């Protein structure tokens, strides 16, 4: 699921967006467009589509570019219509001290899209170029990234480029749900050797950002919060509604939720969020800049933490674990006292936070033994990816050369397939190449789109970045 970096309240700084005037496409841009169009035109939803069809189509582009058939695999459980593409662009022959591969990752499944929900002139499964935009389901989340990766490897192969290590491409399924398995999870469990890498460049995060028509910054997602869900439940004997009891299950649950709402987890910075606020302090105006600088030091200023937490849900989510009620049910008849009342509370934990610690905090906040708190969906750890000079230096050099905007590390408040790889010990960096307008995010929604020129610029960015990290 493509998500944007936490950039609310940003200054409108940066270079202007390039004009999107019609032009004759270069052969490389034409190939990138053709790949993108074919991928968008294939339905890869969980209900009625097939990522196997899309994976086979992308495999053909690589084979035509000169990849050996043995290095291009469409793979998945035999009974599944949703397979993954795994391809290997080989570097030097095996030798002692050889560098480990780099993995390029994007998912090719998409969320549902009903034709009736889109504008009359747009079909979600037909790429439409109109008024400087590409429309179609997956244009933003995240078939643009998948198409760019295929175009990049095809271009490098045809140019005769020789990377200093193997480069692995994985186009996977199941990230958006609706599938009987998650592709990254399955590959790690069944064929880890095919995707094992020193680190991952994930196209499903770390979008470069446009605000009010200006390119403001290049984000790099190097951490993401960890998802865990709890159930709060209250049971009692109930009875007739004409004889109310003080221990009404709905009332007890409502009181418990009120206390959960009032509870705030302590603020904690990690390497990524501290670097994020340090960089943002340079971009932000006046008081915001001072507060961000004040919390990014060794001892965060408590008053500044409070002001930033209150200023934006995004800043607050960067600073602490959060828990919120998302579902509620109770009772069984309008004329009966409720015997059961339940609520779902979804928490997004800071990386490294134990699940038990959050559960204990909720129990203490609720402070009522009649309210049972249990785990519905357990946490899957997602460790930080260290901001290594090898990868960050390459990102900064390519960004400066092409766009001359700041590079800002971010922690994703949601989650991507990167969590499975991080949990398996492989660092993941979210680095999309395509600029996204923070005020026009249509992923998963009606008339999903990206800028035409933004797509071509993103293809060039990723091409140069892959060369930068494999040419030393």
CB 470 within 8 A of CB 102: yes
* % of the chain beyond a pLDDT of 90: 83
Q: Which residues contact 466 (CB under 8 A, 6 or more apart)?
A: 102, 104, 152, 153, 156, 163, 167, 201
- pLDDT tier, 439 (very low <50, low <70, confident <90, very high otherwise): confident
List, edge to edge, every strand of the sheet that includes 128-130: 128-130, 133-135, 449-451
Residue 9 included in any domain = no
Mean local confidence (pLDDT), 222-245: 95
Q: Which of 377, 397, 416 marks a domain boundary?
A: 377
Same domain, 434 and 359: no
As a whole number of angstroms, the distance between CA 260 and CA 137 comes to 37
Same domain, 23 and 120: yes
Mean local confidence (pLDDT), 373-384: 93
- pLDDT tier, 4 (very low <50, low <70, confident <90, very high otherwise): low
Q: Which of 323, 357, 377 marks a domain boundary?
A: 377
Q: Which of 357, 377, 397 marks a domain boundary?
A: 377
Length, in residues, of the chain: 472
Same domain, 271 and 343: yes
Predicted pLDDT of residue 19: 47
Residue 236 included in any domain = yes
What are the tens digits of pLDDT across the range 34-69?
999 999 999 999 889 999 999 999 999 999 999 999
- Residue closest to 53 by CA, chosen among 67, 68, 39: 39
Lowest-confidence region among 34-38, 192-196, 233-237, 435-439: 435-439
The total domain count for the chain is 2
Same domain, 110 and 210: yes
Dihedrals phi, psi of 24, to nearest 5 degrees: -75, 130
- pLDDT tier, 23 (very low <50, low <70, confident <90, very high otherwise): low
Residue 8 included in any domain = no
Same domain, 293 and 391: no
3-class DSSP string for 40-58: HCCCCECCCCCHHHHHHHH
Mean local confidence (pLDDT), 322-340: 97
Same domain, 32 and 103: yes
As a whole number of angstroms, the distance between CA 221 and CA 417 comes to 13
Give the chain's mean pLDDT: 92
CATH of the domain at 433: 3.40.630.10
CATH of the domain at 303: 3.30.70.360
Same domain, 291 and 427: no
Same domain, 195 and 281: no
Domain that holds residue 146: 15-223+382-469
Predicted pLDDT of residue 78: 79
Residue 48 included in any domain = yes
Number of H helices, E strands in the chain: 14, 20
Same domain, 328 and 395: no
As a whole number of angstroms, the distance between CA 80 and CA 100 comes to 31
- pLDDT tier, 12 (very low <50, low <70, confident <90, very high otherwise): very low
Residue 179 has pLDDT above 70, yes or no: no
Residue 281 included in any domain = yes
Residue 447 included in any domain = yes
Residue 3 included in any domain = no
As a whole number of angstroms, the distance between CA 152 and CA 31 comes to 10
Same domain, 331 and 451: no
Same domain, 361 and 421: no
Residue 59 included in any domain = yes
Same domain, 333 and 196: no
- pLDDT tier, 359 (very low <50, low <70, confident <90, very high otherwise): very high
DSSP classification of residue 332: S
């Amino acid at each position: 699921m493509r998500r944007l970096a936490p950039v609310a309240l940003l200054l409108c700084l940066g270079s202007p967006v390039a004009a999107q005037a019609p032009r004759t496409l270069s052969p490389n841009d034409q190939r990138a467009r053709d790949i993108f169009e074919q991928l968008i035109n294939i339905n890869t939803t969980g209900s009625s589509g097939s990522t196997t069809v899309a994976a086979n189509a992308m495999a053909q582009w690589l084979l035509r570019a000169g990849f050996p058939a043995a290095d291009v695999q469409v793979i998945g459980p035999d009974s599944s219509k949703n397979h993954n593409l795994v391809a290997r662009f080989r570097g030097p022959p095996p030798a002692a001290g050889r560098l480990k591969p780099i993995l390029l990752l994007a998912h090719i499944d998409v969320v549902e899209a009903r034709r009736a929900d889109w504008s009359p002139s747009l079909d979600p499964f037909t790429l439409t170029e109109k008024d400087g935009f590409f429309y179609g389901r997956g244009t933003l989340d995240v078939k643009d990234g998948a198409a760019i990766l295929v175009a990049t490897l095809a271009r490098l192969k045809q140019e005769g480029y020789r990377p200093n290590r193997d480069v692995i491409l994985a186009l996977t399924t199941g990230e958006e749900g609706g599938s009987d398995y998650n592709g990254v999870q399955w590959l790690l469990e069944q064929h880890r050797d095919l995707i094992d890498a020193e680190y991952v460049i994930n196209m499903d995060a770390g979008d470069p950002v446009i605000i009010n028509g200006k390119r403001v910054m290049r984000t790099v997602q190097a951490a993401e919060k960890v998802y865990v869900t709890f159930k709060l439940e209250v049971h009692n004997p109930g009875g007739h509604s004409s004889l109310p009891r003080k221990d009404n299950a709905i009332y007890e649950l409502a009181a418990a939720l009120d206390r959960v709402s009032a509870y705030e987890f302590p603020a904690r910075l990690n390497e990524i969020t501290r670097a994020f606020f340090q960089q943002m302090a340079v971009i932000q105006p006046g008081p915001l800049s001072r507060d961000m600088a004040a919390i990014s030091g060794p001892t965060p200023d408590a008053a500044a933490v409070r002001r930033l937490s209150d200023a934006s849900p995004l800043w607050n989510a960067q600073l602490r674990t959060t828990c919120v009620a998302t579902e509620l049910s109770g009772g069984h008849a309008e004329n009966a006292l409720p015997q059961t009342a339940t609520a779902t509370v979804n928490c997004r934990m800071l990386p490294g936070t134990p699940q038990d610690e959050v559960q204990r905090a909720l129990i203490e906040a609720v402070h009522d033994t009649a309210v049972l708190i249990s785990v519905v969906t357990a946490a899957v750890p997602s460790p930080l990816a260290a901001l290594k000079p090898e990868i960050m230096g390459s990102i900064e050099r390519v960004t400066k050369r092409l766009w001359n905007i700041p590079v800002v590390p971010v922690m994703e408040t949601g989650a991507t397939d990167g969590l499975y790889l991080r949990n398996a010990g492989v660092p993941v960096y979210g680095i999309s190449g395509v600029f996204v307008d923070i005020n026009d995010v249509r992923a998963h929604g009606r008339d999903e789109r990206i800028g035409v020129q933004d797509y071509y610029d993103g293809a060039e960015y990723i091409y140069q970045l892959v060369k930068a990290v494999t040419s030393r």
